[in-house]
Amino acid sequence: MNPIGEEILVRPAETRVIVFTKSPGESFSSLSWSLAAWLRMFPPENCFEVNKRDLVAARNTAFRDLCMRAPAGIEHFIMVDRDMRPGPAALPFLQVEGDLVGCMYDTGQPGTWAKPDAVHGGLFRFNRKVVTALASQAPWWQFGHSADGCEFRCECLSFQKKVQDAGLRCARGGWCGHRDKA
């Protein structure tokens, strides 16, 4: 059994959690109280902060420095933005099988979750297979545009595409609060 008393796939002792604590326009790092409480299920030595103003650069730095160089006993990696508010509804995120697993949240963008395997960057996890398969494919996150250049694409899509192109499975589970949204 684990610290939250529920059956989960992700073993906290084998999981490295990376929290992105700064957002553009802020002069200080922070995180939500509910995120701080949720992090308590993971050993403190497995929790890391990345504090860079550019979130895409922060994700790429974390992948290079904290995922690719993680000790062999680390099997899962969770990346979470500082303004996420995981609660009981996020539990399925830790129970769903997949190589890349996202937790749904209100992004403020209609259609964000239209595809059944869509994963976005507020709260997601991936396993060691993803790290191994993508090690030589930097940058792992990058903004993009549609083929005609008329529509913006978030950095999450480039990472998910690389995972899928490597033949790995994407999934999602659970719901997480975001900023002041439930």
pLDDT at 1: 44
Structure tokens at 142: 């990058």
- CATH superfamily assigned to domain 12-178: Spore Coat Polysaccharide Biosynthesis Protein SpsA; Chain A (3.90.550.10)
pLDDT of 79-126, one tens digit each? 999 989 999 999 999 999 999 999 999 988 888 889 888 999 999 999
pLDDT band at 15 (very low <50, low <70, confident <90, very high): very high
CA distance 36 to 41: 10
Domain ranges of the chain: 12-178
Beta strands in 44-94 (DSSP E): 47-50, 76-81, 84-85
Most confident segment among 2-11, 51-60, 98-107? 98-107
Q: Which residue has the higher pLDDT, 54 or 99?
A: 99
pLDDT of 138-172, one tens digit each? 999 998 777 888 776 778 889 999 999 999 999 99
